[in-house]
């Protein structure tokens, strides 16, 4: 935990930097902020199946509640009077993702759209000193996001936002995310990249030392290091796949019917293997299925294991997602891992906040 110390009129003043994480999930953002030194007091999420992983790994309180039902008193109860209050979160991104754009065009609606407005409501009620919001890049084009930004500015916050490339901050995954930062103290923006392209973390560096698995197998030392069983046809397909390639590398007898149609020829980012010495593709909630993306292991004939997906999301190798001996719900675990904020990106956000506060809060103390 970071505590800023200042001497004013011969008295030492200590100011704790503390945060509450909205839409916390299993704790990717919380874990990253804590690694940076920020004291995350609590996480709030409607999905109670995230509780164990969140609390066990982060030693913070999990509140099972919809953010729509959360109010200032609920959040302020965690802070001490002199804390620098930080409110962070990643509203569910499904309504904004490029994968759901066609449904929006057809006039479909999603109640999750309103959750960013609820985030804005809580900002107005709590008045934290610092805010961070992370989401899919497509959100930047939506009116709900512009409303959120304008609401923050009207409240007196300095706001910045940009689409960041996660490998720049140590995430071994070619993921892009929209990161917003806002401060009551002064201008704030995410720190410059920490990694150059020739130093990006790779698949090999991240998962290369994990135990080998056959399809459908479970590592006896780590039940999360397990992978899906392939059908006989998909086993033939993965054996015909090359790192960085797609189904276009296969012989015609292995291709799906849709691949022979003009409408299917553009979907190249499926049924492929990852490359050892590059960052992985974006880890989605379906990363454990070989046909759902380029999620084939670089040289083992199987899809990614859940542990591998978590580590490519930059979770620590020993991050616990279930109690010992508890049955694993694979669909649920895929959602938990795929929807998480990459830990290393959370850490970069935390470093940004600390550096900002060391500059501006010090100036305020001496005014």
Are the C-beta atoms of 191 and 351 separated by less than 8 Å? yes
Residues 161 and 143: their CA atoms lie apart, in Å, by: 15
Buried b (16+ CB within 10 A) or exposed e, 107-138: eeeeeebbbbebbbbbbeebebbbbbbbbbbb
| Helix/strand/coil for 165 | strand
Per-residue CA distances from 57 to 25, 28, 189 (Å): 12, 10, 28
* Residues with Cβ within 8 Å of residue 56, at least 6 apart in sequence: 320
CA atoms of 26 and 144, how far apart (whole Å): 25
Residue 93 annotated in active site: yes
Residues 6+ apart with CB under 8 A from 153: 159
Identify whether the C-beta of residue 46 lies closer than 8 Å to the C-beta of residue 24. no
Which one is catalytic: 93, 166, 226, 227?
Answer: 93
Q: How many CB atoms lie within 10 A of CB 270?
A: 17
Instruction: Supply angle C-alpha 134, 1, 161, rounded to 5.
Output: 20
Q: CA-CA distance, 329 to 338, in Å (whole number)?
A: 14
Closest CA to 233 of 271, 265, 194, 186: 271
C-alpha 308/C-alpha 281 separation (Å) is: 13
H or E element, residue 22: strand 11-22
Q: Are the C-beta atoms of 314 and 343 separated by less than 8 Å?
A: yes
Give Cα separations from 97 to 9, 226, 342 (angstroms): 53, 28, 17
Identify the residue whose tokens are 């970069």.
348
Residue 50 CA to residue 119 CA, distance in Å, equals 20
Active site residues per annotation: 93
């Amino acid at each position: 935990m970071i505590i800023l110390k200042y001497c004013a009129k011969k008295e030492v003043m200590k100011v704790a930097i503390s945060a509450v994480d909205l839409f916390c999930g299993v704790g990717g953002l919380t874990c990253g902020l804590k690694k940076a030194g920020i004291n995350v007091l609590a996480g709030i999420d409607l999905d109670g199946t995230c509780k164990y992983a969140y609390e066990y790994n982060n030693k913070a309180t999990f509140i099972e509640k919809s953010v729509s039902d959360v109010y200032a008193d609920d959040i302020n109860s965690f802070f001490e009077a002199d804390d620098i209050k930080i409110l962070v979160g990643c509203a569910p991104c499904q309504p904004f993702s490029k994968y759901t754009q066609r449904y929006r065009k057809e006039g479909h609606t999603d109640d999750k759209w309103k959750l960013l407005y609820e985030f804005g409501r809580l900002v107005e009620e709590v008045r934290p000193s610092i805010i961070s919001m992370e989401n899919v890049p497509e959100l930047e084009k939506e009116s709900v996001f512009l409303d959120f930004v304008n609401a923050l500015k009207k409240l007196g916050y300095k706001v910045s936002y940009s689409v960041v490339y996660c490998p720049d901050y140590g995430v071994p995954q070619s993921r892009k995310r929209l990161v917003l930062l806002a401060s009551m103290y002064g201008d704030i923006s995410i720190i410059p990249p920490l990694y150059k392209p020739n130093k990006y973390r790779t698949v090999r560096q991240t998962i290369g030392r994990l135990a080998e698995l056959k399809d459908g197998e479970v590592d006896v030392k780590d039940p999360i290091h397990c992978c899906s069983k392939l059908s006989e046809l998909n086993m033939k397909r993965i054996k015909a796949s090359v790192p960085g390639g797609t189904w276009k590398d296969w012989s015609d007898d292995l291709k799906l019917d849709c691949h022979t149609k003009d409408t299917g020829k553009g979907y190249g980012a499926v049924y492929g293997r990852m490359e050892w010495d590059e960052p992985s593709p974006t880890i989605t909630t379906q990363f454990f299925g070989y046909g759902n993306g380029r999620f084939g292991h670089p040289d083992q004939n199987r899809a990614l294991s859940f542990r591998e997906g978590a580590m490519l999301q930059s979770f620590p190798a020993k991050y616990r997602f279930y109690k010992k001996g508890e049955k694993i719900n694979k669909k649920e675990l895929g959602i938990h891992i795929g929807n998480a904020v990459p830990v290393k990106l959370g850490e970069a956000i935390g470093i940004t906040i600390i550096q900002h506060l060391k500059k501006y809060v010090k100036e305020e103390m001496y005014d």
